[in-house]
């Protein structure tokens, strides 16, 4: 009986809390140390103290370690914009969505910094990141259309919003930056509004 219990606990030890987080952290460390292309799934699993089988329970491949959270981020953006008060102009509804994403990412600055370092060092990953941003813009435009915004206005506002996000993000992860991501989002939006007001 005791042998069975011991064996059971040994097998269950693979299912420790936050296995997904440990795998993601291990992958980022290895991508930065060795490079994305030089890192294998086996090495990631070993660094995390888990098995390859466990890795594939959470991620389809080693690229998804970097992009697995994109869906949740997009859902947060879309739901925040969709649920914004109807009285808000489109760009202000977008601002709420961007701030919601910034608040979430602010808590993970170190993770974001290492993730970006891995992405910029690999052409394939940079292309995948651009696809992610394009998907965010498409989803954001759809959310604006659901609020009654015209196609043209929705597309323009969504693209502008994602541009604000991208520029603020690049400033945020700069090693010399001391400002929070939400603050940088607000600054960038204010600058955009000022520029467009001048051209009106």
The CA radius of gyration of the chain, in Å to the nearest whole number, is 20
The more confident residue out of 8 and 123 is 123
pLDDT winner (highest mean) among 1-15, 68-82, 107-121:
68-82
User: Do 133 and 161 form a contact (C-beta atoms < 8 A)?
Assistant: no
**What's the rounded Cα separation, in Å, for the pair 108 and 152?**
34
Task: Tell me the CB-side half-sphere exposure of residue 9, using CA atoms within 13 A.
Answer: 5
On the question of pLDDT at 200 being above 70, the answer is no
**What's the rounded Cα separation, in Å, for the pair 197 and 19?**
49
On the question of pLDDT at 146 being above 70, the answer is yes
Percent of all residues in the chain with a pLDDT value above 90, rounded to a whole number: 70
In Å, what is the CA distance from 115 to each residue of 28, 37, 66, 122, 153? Answer: 6, 14, 7, 11, 33
On the question of pLDDT at 116 being above 70, the answer is yes
On the question of pLDDT at 14 being above 80, the answer is no
**What's the rounded Cα separation, in Å, for the pair 11 and 118?**
33
**What's the rounded Cα separation, in Å, for the pair 83 and 96?**
10
Each as own residue / partner, the long-range contacts of residues 186-189 (CB below 8 Å, 24 or more positions apart, any chain) are: 186/95, 186/99, 188/164, 189/91, 189/95, 189/98, 189/164
Q: Which domains does the chain have, with CATH numbers?
A: 2-60 (1.10.10.60), 69-199 (1.10.357.10)
**What's the rounded Cα separation, in Å, for the pair 178 and 27?**
27
Q: Quote the pLDDT of residue 69.
A: 82
Q: Quote the pLDDT of residue 95.
A: 96
Q: Quote the pLDDT of residue 165.
A: 96
Taking only the tens place, the pLDDT of each residue in 164-194 is 999 999 999 988 989 999 999 999 999 988 8
Q: Quote the pLDDT of residue 17.
A: 52
pLDDT winner (highest mean) among 6-10, 114-118, 134-138:
134-138
On the question of pLDDT at 77 being above 90, the answer is yes
pLDDT winner (highest mean) among 20-24, 85-89, 192-196:
85-89
pTM of the predicted model as reported, rounded to 2 decimal places: 0.81
* Nearest CA among 135, 141, 158 for reference residue 71: 135
**What's the rounded Cα separation, in Å, for the pair 45 and 8?**
21
């Amino acid at each position: 009986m005791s042998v069975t219990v011991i064996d059971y606990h040994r097998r269950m030890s693979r299912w420790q809390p936050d296995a997904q987080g440990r795998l993601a952290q291990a992958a980022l460390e290895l991508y930065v140390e060795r490079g994305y292309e030089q890192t294998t799934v086996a090495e990631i699993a070993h660094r995390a103290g888990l098995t390859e089988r466990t890795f594939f329970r959470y991620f389809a491949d080693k690229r998804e370690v970097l992009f697995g959270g994109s869906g949740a981020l997009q859902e947060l953006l879309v739901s925040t914009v969709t649920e914004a008060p109807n009285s808000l102009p489109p760009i202000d509804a977008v601002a709420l969505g961007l701030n919601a994403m910034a608040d979430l990412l602010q808590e993970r600055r170190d993770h974001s910094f290492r993730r970006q370092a891995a992405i910029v060092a690999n052409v394939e990953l940079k292309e995948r990141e651009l696809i992610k941003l394009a998907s965010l813009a498409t989803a954001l435009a759809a959310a604006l259309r659901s609020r009654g915004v015209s196609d043209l206005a929705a597309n323009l506002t969504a693209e502008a919003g994602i541009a604000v996000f991208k520029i603020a993000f690049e400033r945020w992860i700069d090693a010399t930056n001391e400002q929070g991501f939400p603050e940088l989002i607000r600054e960038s939006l204010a600058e955009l509004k000022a520029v467009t007001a001048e051209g009106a």
